[in-house]
C-alpha cells in the first residue's frame, strides 16, 4: 500500500526543523548502510549520536502518533527512531530494498514492514529528488509538500533520483506493524474508512456495531502474524 499522509507537520514545525537542520553538522549517509547499499547511496545524514536527531525525531514521532490516518494505515507496533537526510549537488540513492531487520536503541530488533518518508523541503526548493517506488502497478514518483509523508511497504524496490538544484531534506523511519501482511493492512484501512463514512452519514447503529466487530476480529486474527 502506497499512501500519502498529509499535514503531519504544520508550517511552523517545518520552518523550525529546517532552521535547526541548516545549522547542523552532517555526515556521509553511507555510514548507516551495508556494502551493497553503500555502492548506490550518495547523500548526507545527521549522525546517529546527534542530540538534534533525537530531539527532532521525538517531534516527528509525536506528530505521527497524533495523525489518525497514519495510525489507521500503518497500525504501528514498534518504530525505529527517525533519521534525517539531505540530498544536494547530484546526491541520489540508487535502487534498493530496505533491510528486513533493524536494531533498536535498546538492543532489540524491529522487523521493517512499513517505510515512511516525511518531506521537509518544499517541491519548489529543489529539482529532481523524487522518491520512485515500484509496486505491482509500475513506478510511482513521489515529491510531496513540506510536512507531508508517504508510507509504503519496506519490501518495495525504490530509489531517490539525483537532486540537480537546491537541497532535498527529509526525515525517514521504519515501522513494525501489528499486521505484517500489506494486503491485510489495506483491507483493514478500507474497512475502517467505510465505518467512519457510514458513521458520519448516520447509518444504522446495529449495522455499524456489527462492522466494527468485524474490524476488530480481523485485527485480532491478523495481528502478531
Best CA proximity match to 151, nearest among 135, 127, 129:
135
Segment 81-104 shows an average pLDDT of 95
Q: What is the DSSP letter of 160?
A: E
- Which CATH number does the domain housing residue 212 bear? 4.10.860.20
Q: What is the pLDDT of residues 183-194, one digit of tens each?
A: 999 999 999 999
Residue 34's domain comprises 3-177
Q: How far apart are CA 58 and CA 83, in angstroms?
A: 11
Segment 5-13 shows an average pLDDT of 98
- CB-count burial class (<10 Å; 0-12, 13-18, 19+) for 204: exposed
pLDDT band at 225 (very low <50, low <70, confident <90, very high): low
List C-alpha distances in Å: 18 to 10, 22, 81, 101, 170.
12, 6, 18, 30, 9
Q: What is the pLDDT of residues 18-49, one digit of tens each?
A: 999 999 999 998 877 777 777 899 999 999 99
Same domain, 85 and 130: yes
**Nearby residues of 2 by Cβ (< 8 Å), 6 or more positions away:** 133, 135, 140, 142, 150, 151, 152, 156
The dihedrals phi and psi of 164, each to the nearest 5 degrees, come to -100, -10
pLDDT band at 224 (very low <50, low <70, confident <90, very high): confident
Q: How far apart are CA 184 and CA 129, in angstroms?
A: 31
pLDDT band at 56 (very low <50, low <70, confident <90, very high): very high
Same domain, 215 and 139: no
Contact criterion met (CB below 8 Å) for 152 and 133: yes
Same domain, 13 and 33: yes
Same domain, 210 and 103: no
Same domain, 35 and 138: yes
Same domain, 23 and 55: yes
Same domain, 115 and 173: yes
Same domain, 87 and 193: no
Res 29: pLDDT:
85
- Which CATH number does the domain housing residue 73 bear? 2.60.120.620
Same domain, 47 and 143: yes
Same domain, 187 and 168: no
Same domain, 54 and 96: yes
Same domain, 61 and 20: yes
Res 174: pLDDT:
98
CA torsion 16-20-21-22 (nearest 10°) is 100
pTM for the model stands at 0.94
pLDDT, the chain, mean: 95
Count of structural domains within the chain: 2
Q: How far apart are CA 120 and CA 131, in angstroms?
A: 13
Amino acid at each position: 500500500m502506497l499512501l500519502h499522509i498529509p499535514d503531519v507537520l504544520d508550517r511552523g514545525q517545518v520552518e523550525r526543523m529546517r532552521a535547526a537542520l541548516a545549522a547542523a553538522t552532517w555526515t556521509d549517509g553511507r555510514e548507516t548502510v551495508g556494502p551493497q547499499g553503500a555502492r548506490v547511496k550518495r547523500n548526507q545524514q545527521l549522525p546517529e549520536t546527534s542530540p538534534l536527531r533525537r530531539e527532532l525525531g521525538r517531534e516527528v514521532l509525536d506528530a505521527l502518533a497524533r495523525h489518525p490516518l497514519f495510525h489507521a494505515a500503518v497500525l504501528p507496533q514498534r518504530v525505529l527512531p527517525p533519521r534525517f537526510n539531505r540530498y544536494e549537488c547530484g546526491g541520489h540513492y540508487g535502487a534498493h530494498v530496505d533491510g528486513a531487520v533493524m536494531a533498536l536503541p535498546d538492543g532489540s530488533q524491529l522487523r521493517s514492514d512499513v517505510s515512511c518518508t516525511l518531506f521537509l523541503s518544499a517541491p519548489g526548493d529543489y529539482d529532481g529528488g523524487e522518491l520512485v517506488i515500484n509496486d505491482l502497478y509500475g513506478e510511482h514518483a513521489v515529491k510531496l509538500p513540506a510536512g507531508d509523508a508517504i508510507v509504503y511497504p519496506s519490501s518495495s524496490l525504490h530509489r531517490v533520483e539525483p537532486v540537480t538544484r537546491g537541497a532535498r531534506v527529509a526525515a525517514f523511519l521504519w515501522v513494525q506493524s501489528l499486521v505484517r501482511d500489506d494486503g491485510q493492512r489495506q483491507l483493514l484501512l478500507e474497512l475502517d474508512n467505510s465505518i467512519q463514512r457510514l458513521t458520519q452519514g448516520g447509518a444504522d447503529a446495529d449495522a455499524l456495531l456489527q462492522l466494527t466487530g468485524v474490524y476488530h476480529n480481523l485485527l485480532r486474527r491478523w495481528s502478531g502474524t
